[in-house]
């Protein structure tokens, strides 16, 4: 780490970005700071998940009919509690809640809407693998009054910031406000996130593919052909690729962001419940699409740029192909013309 800027705290970094933004009021910086505090609390809880009775399942289901683990609820509640009263937001939408969460009348409201996947990869909690928190911030359309759904059901290109916390071998924050992607690593002794990865750029082509290959026979023919092609022995094309899949979107995405490669969650052609894949457009695909584009990569549903897709409902799902730009383009060629070009 020879760069003298490395090691500055995330707060200092945010304040520098704020100073470079004309008319910034500081509300946005304070909102991100509250999220950071929430993430530190979640980090602490995650790191002792095996020790306390927060481990395991609540027995209840979320809006998708999936079992909610206790730590999911904890993360969801922690983030909501930290930001709801700050006066910086007008509403929150969470992957764990069916409807928009309004700011209670006793608190002031602000110009931002926060979207969260509070604990991504929750099936990995009890095996001690990476989990994460994904967030995205949008500016509301109306000046005042209750937030309506049409203010949230908007293209990902309208996000003003997106990021994630990854609770792994270290806890990290990776975020963008549209001025590049920066990574901060939590120093547990100081309790501070320090700049460790300035201006992250994803390699144009990678050597890793990440997909749940157990679903192979549920994919469309072109997707199967594309994945088969990655295993061909062709050193000139850098093939075969290496297969890496954690089953936590944040973890798989983060590795590929740093090393290059493609993450895929295709549509399921045989399961009527998953015709549009598994991952959620507003809470997972769009925030990571903003990050990957800022890092020079690409995100697609196979045909369209993820950031151009207008959601129809809060919990819309979408097929997701995200990572190095040349890998995503190659996948699109397979879907659109059989990969011949």
Residues binding ligand AHM (CB under 6 A): 95, 117, 120-122, 212, 247-249, 278
Compute the least distance from the CB of residue 279 to Mg ion, in Å: 7
CB of 239 to ligand AHM, least distance (A): 23
Contact assessment for residue 112 and residue 27, using Cβ atoms and an 8 Å cutoff: yes
> How far apart, in whole angstroms, are the C-alpha atoms of residue 51 and residue 49?
5
Residue 117 is a binding residue for Mg ion (CB under 5 A): yes
Nearer to Mg ion, 35 or 90 (CB): 35
Tokens of 94: 């969470």
Q: How far is the CB of 106 from ligand AHM (least distance, A)?
A: 31
Q: Is residue 120 part of the contact set for Mg ion (CB under 5 A)?
A: yes
Shortest Å, Cβ 282 to ligand AHM: 12
User: Which of the choices Mg ion, ligand AHM, none does residue 162 contact, using the CB cut-off of 5 to 8 A by kind?
Assistant: none
The smaller minimum CB distance to Mg ion, of residues 120 and 252, is found at 120
Q: Which does 122 bind (CB under 5 to 8 A by kind): ligand AHM, Mg ion, none?
A: ligand AHM
For 207-238, give one letter per residue: b (16+ CB within 10 A) or e. bbbbbeeebeebbbebbeebbebbeeeeeeee
Collect all residues with Cβ–Cβ distance below 8 Å to 4 and sequence separation of at least 6. Answer: none
- Kindly tell me which of 95 and 327 has the beta carbon lying closer to ligand AHM: 95
Q: Kindly tell me which of 101 and 129 has the beta carbon lying closer to ligand AHM.
A: 129
Answer with the entry of ligand AHM, Mg ion, none that 278 interacts with (C-beta below 5 to 8 A by kind): ligand AHM
Q: Which C-beta is closer to ligand AHM: that of 117 or that of 301? A: 117
Helix (H) or strand (E) holding 222, with range, is helix 221-230
To which residue do tokens 């059901």 refer? 153
Q: Shortest approach of Mg ion to residue 248 CB, angstroms?
A: 8
- DSSP letters spanning 32-87: HHHHHHHHHHHHHHHHTTTTSTT-SEEEEE-TTSPEEEHHHHHHHHHHHHHHHTSS
Gap between the terminal Cα atoms of the chain: 41
- For 318, the token pair is 């979408």
Does position 96 bind Mg ion by CB under 5 A? no
Nearest distance in Å: CB 140, Mg ion: 24
Query: Judged by CB, which is closer to ligand AHM: 28, or 253?
Result: 253
Q: Using CB under 5 A, list all residues that contact Mg ion.
A: 117, 120
């Amino acid at each position: 780490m020879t760069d003298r800027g490395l090691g500055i705290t995330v707060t200092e970094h945010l304040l520098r970005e704020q100073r470079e933004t004309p008319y910034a009021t500081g509300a946005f910086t304070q909102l991100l700071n509250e999220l950071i505090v929430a993430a530190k609390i979640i980090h602490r809880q995650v790191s002792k998940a095996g020790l306390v009775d927060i481990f395991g399942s609540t027995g209840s289901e979320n809006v998708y009919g999936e079992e909610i683990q206790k730590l999911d609820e904890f993360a969801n509640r922690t983030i909501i509690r930290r930001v709801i009263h700050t006066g910086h937001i007008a509403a929150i939408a969470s992957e764990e809640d069916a409807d928009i969460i309004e700011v209670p009348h006793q608190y002031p409201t602000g110009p931002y809407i926060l979207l969260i996947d509070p604990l991504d990869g929750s099936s990995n909690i009890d095996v001690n693998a990476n989990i994460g928190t994904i967030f995205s911030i949008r500016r509301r359309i109306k000046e005042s009054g209750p937030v309506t759904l049409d203010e949230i059901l908007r293209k990902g290109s309208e996000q003003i910031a997106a990021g994630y916390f990854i609770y792994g071998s270290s806890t990290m924050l990776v975020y963008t406000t549209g001025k590049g992607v920066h990574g901060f690593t939590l120093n547990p002794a100081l309790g501070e996130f320090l700049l460790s990865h300035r201006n992250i750029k994803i390699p144009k082509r990678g050597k890793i593919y990440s997909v749940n290959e157990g679903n192979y026979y549920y994919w469309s023919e072109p997707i199967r052909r594309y994945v088969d092609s990655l295993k061909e022995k062709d050193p000139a094309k850098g093939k075969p690729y290496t297969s890496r899949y954690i089953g936590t979107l944040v973890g798989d995405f983060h590795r590929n962001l740093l090393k290059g490669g493609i993450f895929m969650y295709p549509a399921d052609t045989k399961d009527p419940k998953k015709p549009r894949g598994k991952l959620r457009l507003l809470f997972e695909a769009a925030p990571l699409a903003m990050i990957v584009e800022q890092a020079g990569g690409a995100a697609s549903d196979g045909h369209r740029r993820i950031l151009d897709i207008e959601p129809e409902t809060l919990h819309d799902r979408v097929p997701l192909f995200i990572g190095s730009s040349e890998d995503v383009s190659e996948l699109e060629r397979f879907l659109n013309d059989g990969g011949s070009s």
